[in-house]
Amino acid sequence: MGRFVLIAQHNARSGQDQEFNRWYDTHVADVLRCPGFISAERFELGLGESSNYRYPTIYQIETDDLEVAKAAMRSRIGSSEMRISDSVDRERTSSVYWASMGNPTAK
């Protein structure tokens, strides 16, 4: 079984951070209903840090076929299974899949 992550980075439209974060909690649950997506952790840009994105999310994926998992998620985006809020700044988003290079390292 292959291990992957999806790092999705987003911004809220100006003045819509509260609505964006309310919606994103629901969105995470929608994504986790997709085959292969097993966990998610949301983040917010740290104080004093600089980035093009304020809200990254890391999704853990376990699957034998990443393309099948990606297609399942893509087919749901914008449907009743995965609505997209108007609070999302669609001009400034990034979603990249990464393949694991081995077992996690821990202290």
Q: Determine the Cα–Cα distance for residues 2 and 99; give it in Å rounded to an integer.
A: 8
Mean pLDDT of 31-50: 96
**2-40 per-position pLDDT tens digit:** 999 999 999 999 999 999 999 999 999 999 999 999 999
Nearest to 24 by CA among 68, 73, 87, 106: 87
Yes or no: say if 8 and 84 are a contact pair by the CB < 8 Å rule.
no
Q: Determine the Cα–Cα distance for residues 3 and 103; give it in Å rounded to an integer.
A: 9
> Which pLDDT belongs to residue 11?
97
- Percentage of the chain surpassing pLDDT 70? 100
Query: Which domains does the chain carry?
Result: 2-99 (3.30.70.100)
